[in-house]
Amino acid sequence: MQHTVVALALVIFFFFPQLAYADLTGQVINITDGDNLVVVIDKQWVRVRLAGIDAPEKNQPFGTDSKQSLSDLCFWEQVTVASKGKDQYGRMLAKVRCRDVDAGEEQLRRGMAWVYNRYAKDPSLNPLQEEAKVAKRGLWVDPHARPPWKWREMWD
């Protein structure tokens, strides 16, 4: 019986990983940039990367604006964090809700981030980016805006 329960738990974890992560709540204590924040969850500092988006780097045009946008939305707020796993830097990849608004989606709506198509698994993100682009919101006022993954290539 015990082996059956363990086997079932492993099957759920490997084939349905979204079920292995329950929504968490915490308080945002730091905004690192437009797609990274630090949340205190159960008295632990957790570095969180917003899933599905990539915001301008700090030294990139709109980097400061993007960070401020996320700060205006989430800093010092109680948030809900839906973990999607970890990235290669050990940060939790997550959907984060601040003031009942999905922070990643809002960054896209405001024109403060790109959909990170290489990793994004949510097809509903692309229309949000397109809407901001058409309206020339945020970084989309620049017709030559360069996504962060291309910007980083310049510095590698």
Write out the catalytic residue numbers: 49, 57, 91
Q: Which residues of 32-50 are buried (b: 16+ CB within 10 A; e: fewer)?
A: bbbbbbbbebeeeebbbbb
Q: What's 50-109 look like in SS3?
A: ECCEECCCCCCCCHHHHHHHHHHHHCCCEEEEEEEEECCCCCEEEEEEECCEEHHHHHHH
CA atoms within 13 A on the CB side of 49: 18
CA atoms within 13 A on the CB side of 99: 11
